[in-house]
Amino acid sequence: MLKSTKFVELKTIFERLHGPKGCLWDKKQTHKTLIPYLKEEVGEFIEALKNNDYSHMKEELGDVLLQVMFHSTIAKKDKKFDIEDVIDHLIKKLKRRHPHVFGNTKVKSPGEIIANWHKIKAAEKREKIRKKWN
């Protein structure tokens, strides 16, 4: 049985919004029609961050999360991916890019961590290109 959390509640809300009796406006949105909203919400978060306005930051992060959920829901309807896939991808990336925490890599400074991050990211890009051409 799934543990009831705020995230499960959020997923349920999105399922309802995009379900048979859901919101007509939400259901007609596409990734492209949502671009202006995503840009706006990220911009508003950055502004709140610059102003050290934590209350507003919390609100704007919620709006950014709304965009993540929206895009994931659209992709799920298109049978491309869902929010669980997004989270799984992020978990794997965080573990790969933090071998000093989740592996045996030894580091002595934040600079080494950043250098490792960039090396790992570059290797991931090379692998993506290799797979694309094979």
40-92 pLDDT tens trace: 999 999 999 999 999 999 999 999 999 999 999 999 999 999 999 999 999 99
11-21 pLDDT tens trace: 999 999 999 99
In sequence order, the 6+-apart residues with CB closer than 8 A to the CB of 108 are none
25-35 pLDDT tens trace: 999 999 999 99
Distances (CA, A) of 47 to 5, 38, 60, 62, 94: 30, 14, 10, 15, 27
Superfamily of domain covering 1-81: MazG-like (1.10.287.1080)
Domain regions of the chain by residue span = 1-81
Angle between helices 83-97 and 110-133 (to 10 degrees): 130
Identify the CA nearest to 36 among candidates 24, 44, 47, 28.
Answer: 44
